[in-house]
Amino acid sequence: MSIDDAVPISEGSRFGGPNSVGQVRTQYIAFAGPPAEMELECGLKLGPITLAYETCGTLSPERDNAVLILHALSGDAHVAGYHAAEDRKPGWWDLFIGPGKAIDTTKYFVVCSNIIGGCKGSTGPSSANPATGRPYGLEFPMVTISDMVRTQKVLMDRLGIPRWLSMTGGSMGGFQVLEWVVRYPGQVASAIPIATAVRLSAQGIAFNEVGRQAIMADPNWREGDYYAGEAPRAGLAIARMIGHITYLSDEQMHAKFGRRLRGRDGFGYDFKTEFEVESYLKYQGDSFVRRFDANSYLYITKSMDYFDLAAGRGSLVEVFEGVRTEFLVLSISSDWLFPTYQSKELVKALKANGIPTTFLEIQSPYGHDAFFLPNDRMSATIAGFLENVQRRVREAAAEGRRP
């Protein structure tokens, strides 16, 4: 995940602007303290657990306007607005969240939840292990997408939200959306999975594994026990570079970089960074190591690899039996990491169950990461869908039934 540095912030979305949610702060819930630790899918226990989240907008008196945002691999709870007036950039999906935007915070109460296993304020491998007082490192138990969702359900209950009006997320955020719907079908009125799939493909696992191998091959990694010394920066940077290639598209790389050289007129006939695309990837890798923990990268990518919505639940069609959630499924035409056919697989299973499903392939040349970029059609689609869902939910409530 990345907000491209080249994406300009519109005037209205600047701090104090009419389309900005303004100042926000990260909040935390703590739970699963001993002896009530949470049993994870892998069989091990984790606790106490801290989960970071942010909110914007106001929960309605009927508590019927809450929208949950779920982030991808390297995201965090800071989804929109600013932590401080002097912040250079707003939250990672500020383009889509705020007054007058696709997810309009004058209508909806937006919650963005972080994930366990990460390094952005929630319990993860860099947190202190209560048994030793030192960072967990590899003693941190393996967490899965469904473990993440179960902690988010605790957050939902703490916030006093009886049912989500909607939830959305791209990529791994979409995994969480799908797991939510299947695990708690009565508590999600609508869902908007974006650029995602019902399981990670072999190709996706392959790229994740190369990233992990790069980290683990870094001598500074030391079996994950590096918190007292130098972090495996080189390995994590390479992992990020590989990941970043998969988030772009051939067409976009050609348009953005071509074969242009950076800061020189001819070849140097050496191995220094000379092509613009090299320099871009190097920048992405270097800036990532300043904000992300290598062990978290290992754990989260592994949770993606393990994700298979149908595992242990029968066929994909059976998975959605009894689900009443209304769906808007979005894919991106140039996404080769989560290609459109994978979204269609989801759509087919939903339709086979008679679930109201809208599917749209967004035409965009920007590859997997296109959902972080400005896109008027995507904004209008999400806004229109949410508006109709809210109308239906409120009509149903007025008539005393659940849609």
Partner 1 sequence: MIVAKRKRPARLRLDYELIEALIPDGAKVLDLGCGDGQLLADLIEFKGCEGRGIELDEKAVLECIQRGVAVYHGDMVEGMECYRAGHFDVVILSQTLQQTMDPPKVIREMLRVGRKAIISFPNFGHWGVRLQLLWTGRMPRSPALPYHWYNTPNVHLCTVKDFEEFCERERLEIVEEIFLTARYRPITGFLANWRAGLAIFQLQRAPQG
305 belongs to the binding site for partner 1 (CB under 8 A)? no
Residue of 94, 218, 335, 369 marked active site: 335
- Residue count at the site for partner 1 (CB under 8 A)? 26
| Exposed e or buried b per residue across 176-190, where buried means at least 16 C-beta atoms within 10 angstroms of its C-beta | bbbbbbbebeebbbb
Both structure tokens of 219: 């001598």
Q: Which residues pair with 168 in a beta bridge?
A: 69, 192
Q: Is 363 in the site for partner 1 (CB under 8 A)?
A: yes
Q: Is 348 in the site for partner 1 (CB under 8 A)?
A: yes
Three-state helix/strand/coil letters over 334-390: CCCCCCHHHHHHHHHHHHHCCCCEEEEEECCCCCHHHHHCCCHHHHHHHHHHHHHHH
324 binds partner 1 (CB under 8 A): no
Sole window of 2-10, 148-156, 207-215, 340-348 interacting with partner 1 (rule: CB under 8 A): 340-348
Q: Give the count of beta carbons closer than 10 Å to the beta carbon of residue 358.
A: 16
- Chain centroid to CA 44: 25
Residues 111-170 contacting partner 1, CB under 8 A: none
Place of tokens 């994978």: 342
CB 301 within 8 A of CB 166: no
- If one asks whether residue 393 binds partner 1 (CB under 8 A), the answer comes out as no
- Rank residues 14 and 394 by Cβ distance to partner 1 and give the closer one: 394
Parallel/antiparallel/unpaired status of strands 66-70 and 166-170? parallel
The window from 46-54, 229-237, 292-300, 377-385 that contacts partner 1 (CB under 8 A) reads 377-385
**360 lies in the site for partner 1, by CB under 8 A:** yes
Segment contacting partner 1 by CB under 8 A, of 9-17, 71-79, 229-237, 384-392: 384-392
Q: Examine residue 356 and tell whether it contacts partner 1 (CB under 8 A).
A: yes
Supply 322's token pair. 């009894």
Within 8 A by CB and 6+ apart from 8, the residues are none
Which lies closer to partner 1 via its Cβ, residue 155 or residue 347? Answer: 347
- Would you call 249 a catalytic residue per the annotation? no
Which residue, 337 or 347, has its beta carbon nearer to partner 1? 347
The binder of partner 1 chosen from 344, 365, 373, 394 (CB under 8 A): 344
Cβ 233 to partner 1 shortest distance, Å? 43
Q: Which amino acid is at 92?
A: W
171 catalytic, yes or no?
A: yes
The region of 81-89, 197-205, 246-254, 383-391 touching partner 1 under the rule CB under 8 A is 383-391
Give the nearer residue to partner 1 in terms of CB position, either 115 or 362.
362
Spot the catalytic one: 76, 364, 368, 369. Answer: 368
Would you say 216 or 352 has its CB closer to partner 1?
352
Helix (H) or strand (E) holding 134, with range, is none
Toward partner 1, which CB reaches closer, 234 or 330?
Answer: 330
Say whether 368 is catalytic: yes
User: Tokens at residue 131, please?
Assistant: 């048994």
Q: Do residues 300 and 73 touch, judged by C-beta distance below 8 A?
A: yes
Query: 122 φ, ψ to 5°?
Result: -100, 165
Q: Are 9 and 3 in contact (CB under 8 A)?
A: no
Q: Whole-angstrom Cα distance, residue 385 to residue 328? A: 7
- What CA–CA distance (Å, rounded) separates 189 from 325? 5
- Residue type for position 27: Q
Q: Which of 13, 20, 74, 171 is catalytic?
A: 171
Say whether residue 347 binds partner 1 (CB under 8 A): yes
Among 127, 151, 334, 381, binds partner 1 (CB under 8 A): 381
Catalytic residue numbers read 171, 335, 368
* Residues of this chain that bind partner 1 (CB under 8 A): 326, 328, 344, 347-349, 351-352, 354, 356-363, 377, 380-381, 384-385, 387-388, 391-392
